[in-house]
Structure 1
Amino acid sequence: MKFHHITPIIWTEQLQETIDFYCNVLGFRCGECSDEWQWAALFNDECELMIAKPNEHTPFEKPAFTGSFYIKVDDVETLWNQLRHDVNVVYELETFDWGMREFAIYDNNGYMLQFGQDINK
């Protein structure tokens, strides 16, 4: 048995605004979108993310993910310089003892996104 990529689905009441944030700010492209299903699939290289409005059977007041989404990139410094003035920063670009250079931001819904690069490679 083999595990494959994990594809998170984030819930939002602001579907189009979230699509716009990920596409216009982070460089994702919208591969699929359904107004009927209130759902979209976004891609950036090997990274995939789905966005959906919560269905009527799911209690939803605001994003309540108790972690972060960690995205590995191959040039974290360039990404930081492109984003840092246009996003809500959680923590600035930093090199950590465990060999990762990373920073974190909030998306338009309040989900935390961390971007990191392994500096030992």
Structure 2
Amino acid sequence: MTTMRFRGLTPMLRTPDLHGSIAFYVDRLGFTLHSHSETDGWASLRRDDIELMLATPNAHTGHAKPAFTGSLYFRLDDGPAIDALWSSVQGKVHTCYPPETFPYGMREFGIYDDNGYLLQFGAPAVPGHP
């Protein structure tokens, strides 16, 4: 039996406006454009250890409005990092919920990207908490 190893997970989000979505992630969240293809309608973005891909509708995925019932959860180092990120995006994004410290020990907030995908950001509220 062959052993297989998963090496990572890169979310690929569909968008009807590739340029607008690139601008959202670069200008509001500090990602960098790693690579992209206008012809094929996709882009790869990075920030620190996170990679995110964007793609326009195509023959394989169809042209229905993007829909996703979950969220993307970005883990940061600590509570102060959450507050700093919130300060940099507040008033520039559509907010789901502002920073809050939850009973399970995480400090989090949620926003929507330009396509309506829920992006949540969280970090341990107390240093050393898992």
Instruction: Please tell me the TM-score bracket, short chain as reference.
Output: over 0.9
Question: What is aligned with 2:64?
Answer: 61
Would you say 1:111 and 2:117 are equivalent positions?
A: yes
Equivalent position to 1:26, from 26, 29, 36 = 29
Distance 1:102 1:18 in 2: 23
Cα shift at 1:5: 2.4
Question: What is aligned with 1:16?
Answer: 19
For residue 42 of structure 2, what is the amino acid of its counterpart? W
Equivalent position to 1:88, from 83, 94, 114 = 94
User: What RMSD in Å do the two structures reach over aligned CA positions?
Assistant: 1.2
Distance 1:55 1:64 in 2: 15
Distance 1:4 1:101 in 2: 28
Structure 2: runs of 5+ lacking an equivalent? none
Q: Which runs of 4+ in 1 moved over 6 A?
A: none
Q: Highest Rg: 1 or 2?
A: 2
Equivalent position to 1:50, from 53, 61, 64 = 53
Q: Secondary structure at the match of 2:66?
A: coil
- Give % identity: 46
Could you say if the C-alpha distance between residues 4 and 57 of structure 1 is closer, same or farther in structure 2, counting changes exceeding 3 Å?
closer
Equivalent position to 1:101, from 91, 104, 107 = 107
Q: Secondary structure at the match of 2:6?
A: coil
For residue 37 of structure 2, what is the amino acid of its counterpart? S
Cα shift at 1:90: 0.1
Q: Deviations over 1:12-53 (max 9, x none)?
A: 110000000000110000000101111100000001100001
Distance 1:2 1:84 in 2: 39
Q: TM-score, normalised by structure 2?
A: 0.88
For residue 34 of structure 2, what is the amino acid of its counterpart? G
Matched residues, number? 121
Q: Deviations over 1:81-107 (max 9, x none)?
A: 111111100001000011110000000
Distance 1:110 1:22 in 2: 13
